[in-house]
Amino acid sequence: MGAQLRLLRRKIKSAQSTAKITRAQELIATSRISKAQERVAASRPYAQLITRALTSLVSHRSGVDHPLLNEQPEDKRSAVLIITSDRGFCGGYNANVIREAEALMALLREQGREPVPYVVGTKGLTWYKFRDRQVGGEWSGFSDRPDFPSAERIGRKLVEDFLKTDAEGGVGEIHVVYTEFVSMLTQAVQVKRLLPLQIEEVERSQAEGPLPSYDFEPTAEATLDLLLPNYIESRIFHMLLQGAASELAARRRAMKSATDNANDLIGIYSRQANQARQAEITQEISEIVGGANALADASAGSE
C-alpha cells in the first residue's frame, strides 16, 4: 500500500470519528430543545400575572415613588448583563451576544457612561478574562438548564448594586443582552433595559378589559418593595430560559452542519482513495505485463 493511500485512509477514519461525535451532539441537542421550549412556555403565566399585578398597582396609584422606578442621572456606571453559554459547539451563538454587548457598551461610553459587564456563562467569562476586563458579577454552570434560584441570585446582585451609588460600586442602570428563541432556525439577540423600570401611559383595548383592582396588605408601598424584585428575577429567569433554548437550537444547527461537512469530506477522501488504489493496481498490472514481455523476449532470444 502506497503512502498516499495510507494517508487518505487515516483521513477517512478521522472524518468518520468526527461525524460520529457531531451526530451525537446533534441528537442530544435535538432531544433537549423541546423540553427547553416547554420551560419557556411554562414561565410565561407567572411573568404575565406578576406584570399585570405590577401594572395595576402603578396605574391605580398616582405619585408612585420607588428606587427601582427612579432615574439616577448622577450615577454614571451602567451594568450590562451578558447571557452566554457554558459550553461550545453552538456556532456563532456566543459571538453574536458578545458582539451586541460590545456595541452597547461602546454606545454607553459615547453617552458619557461607564459600562460594567456582568457575565453569565463560561464562554463569556473566558472572553472577558482573557482580555483582562473586570466584571461586576459572574455566574456559570447552568446555561443549558437554568433554574429560578440562579436567576434569583443574579437578580438580587443586580438590584443590590442598583441601589448603591457610584462611590459604593453601584450602577445607575441595568441592561441585558440575551438571545431570544424565535424558531428552530432563527435566534435573535435582544438588548433590553431592565432597570430603572420605565412607566408608559398606553391605551388599553376593549378586548383586554380593565385592569383588576387589588387590595394590598399591609400597604401598596410595602407590596411594591416585594413585588419589584420578584418581577426583576422573573424577567431574568425568562431571559435565561430563552437563552438556553437558543443555545440548544444553535448547537443542533452547528452540529448538523459539521456532520454534513464531515460526510462530504468522507466522500471526497473515499474517491481520492479509490483513485489512488486504482492507480496502484494499474501500476502493478503494467509491471506484471512488462515483466512477462521481458521474459518472453528473453526466451525468444535464447532460442
What domains can be seen in the chain, in order of their start residue? 60-198+211-250 (3.40.1380.10)
For 201, counting Cβ atoms within 10 Å of its Cβ (0-12 exposed, 13-18 middle, 19+ buried), the class is: exposed
Residues of the chain with pLDDT under 50: none
Integer Cα distance of 12 and 111 in angstroms: 55
Could you identify the residue written with the cell 460600586? 169
Contacts of 277 (CB under 8 A, 6+ apart): 5
CA angle 60, 63, 66 (to 5 degrees): 100
What is the model's pLDDT at position 300? 66
DSSP 8-state secondary structure symbol assigned to residue 90: S
Identify the CA nearest to 91 among candidates 248, 261, 240, 242. Answer: 248
CA angle 118, 121, 124 (to 5 degrees): 70
What is the model's pLDDT at position 227? 80
Structural Rg of the chain based on CA atoms: 31
Could you identify the residue written with the cell 431570544? 180
Grid coordinates belonging to 163:
441601589
Contacts of 205 (CB under 8 A, 6+ apart): none
Q: In the chain, where does DSSP find H-type helix?
A: 3-59, 93-110, 122-130, 148-162, 220-302
What is the model's pLDDT at position 188? 92
Whether 67 and 228 have beta carbons less than 8 Å apart is answered as no
| Single-letter code of the amino acid located at 296 | A
Phi–psi pair at 110, nearest 5 degrees: -65, -30
What is the model's pLDDT at position 8? 86
User: Cis peptide leading into 218, omega within 30 of 0?
Assistant: yes
